[in-house]
Structure 1
Amino acid sequence: MKKWKEYKYTEIASLIGGGTPKTTKKAYWNGRIPWLSVKDFCGGSKYVYNTEKTITDLGLINSSTKLLNKDDIIISARGTVGEIAMLPFEMAFNQSCFGIRANNNRILPDYLYYLTKTKVRELQHASHGAVFNTITKNTFENIICQIPPLEQQKQISTILSSLDDKIELNRRINDNL
């Protein structure tokens, strides 16, 4: 069996900053692109499917927001630090969050999601700020991770994902009741 390797978090994932299109420009809002804020994914589900707000292509182009890909991760970085979700399709997001993209040569996106969930307390402990607790890109630089080989990551992620699927199904059943 291959050995696990130690990496800094920033060696296994890229961090992407978000932004907000000018709210006074109506041409930037109510478009086809889902635009995430923390309240959209603070329910504890693995995936976030709906956003309260959407932006237009103009809003995306004319702001600092970025488009995250399917299977990227979103984490709240200010205020309520450590809310986390995975994306089932492309979405843009605000500056109170970081997008996290797996370095696929070292880590699978699903495994990175579960690993990041285990690091939330460490991130919260390292947060700082006078008004709001905040984590920065430098916060992730100090997070050390033990990573198994890709095949083992796949096995672990498959088990955890099946449990999440069952939890989500139960949540939907409860919502219908």
Structure 2
Amino acid sequence: MKYKLSEVMDLIGGGTPKTTKPEYWDGDIPWLSVKDFNNDFRFVYETEKHITELGLNNSSTKLLKAGDVIISARGTVGEIATIPFPMAFNQSCYGLRAKKEIVTADFLYYLIKHNIHVLKKNTHGSVFDTITRDTFAGIEVDIPDMDSQTKIAEILSNIDEKIEVNVRINENFSDLKVEVGNINFAGHQLGQQRVS
């Protein structure tokens, strides 16, 4: 069935607690900005900054739930991730919450990812590229039945997991090469001393 993107999800706006109020910051609630999730990984587990309950209650930031999608909507446009546990976020992003009667949360992530180039083409703004609520309303998508959504999301999720594991292995391998290189260098020096 055909839907507008805006019809398959709830769009949630973010915000920033006042930085002049120290009691709003350094709490237990992760607070996302685009630099926390611009790495092509599906899930975002860590944030640079955290806020307090007081900061959450006294600002326009909202708390996203596990399974919600976050998308950067201003400046650096189109970075996306899935939220694995509750997190707040700033005003340069939107939270996307699947309307469960139409799409699954997993399928919504891949639906948005698949349409990123279309979203980017439809940005507005003279100074910064910006995705607005109208951007989502102007894009039509085909939504399969729930069973198909589950199967599609499962296949793509397995691929994502493998990619992420490979990237982490490569990162660890690079770190290991540096350490091993240092050990070899030290060993070579010692070997030379023994020969002479």
User: Is the counterpart of residue 52 in structure 1 residue 52 in structure 2?
Assistant: no
Partner of 1:117: 113
1:133 maps to 2:129: yes
Q: What percentage of aligned pairs have identical amino acids?
A: 58
1:65-144 matches, cutoff 5 A: 65-144=61-140
What SS does the corresponding residue of 1:168 show, helix, strand or coil? helix
Between the two structures, name the one with larger relative contact order (CA 8 Å, sep ≥ 6): 1
Q: TM-score, normalised by structure 2?
A: 0.87
How many residues matched?
173
Q: Report how far residue 118 of structure 1 moved.
A: 1.1
Deviation at 1:99, TM superposition (A): 0.2
State the match for 2:16 in structure 1: 20
What does 1:142-161 align with in structure 2 at a 5 Å threshold?
142-161=138-157
The runs of 5 or more residues in structure 1 that have no matched partner are: none
SS of residue paired to 2:41 = coil
Q: Given the two structures, how large is their TM-score scaled by the length of structure 1?
A: 0.96
Q: Distance in 1 between matches of 2:23 and 2:171?
A: 35
RMSD in angstroms over aligned alpha carbons? Answer: 0.6
**4+ runs of 1 displaced by more than 3 Å?**
none
Cα offset for 1:72?
0.1
Deviation of 1:70 after TM superposition, in Å, equals: 0.2
Paired with 2:157 and 2:117, the residues of 1 have a C-alpha distance of: 21
Cα displacement (A) at 1:9 = 0.8
Name structure 2 gaps, 5 residues minimum: 174-196
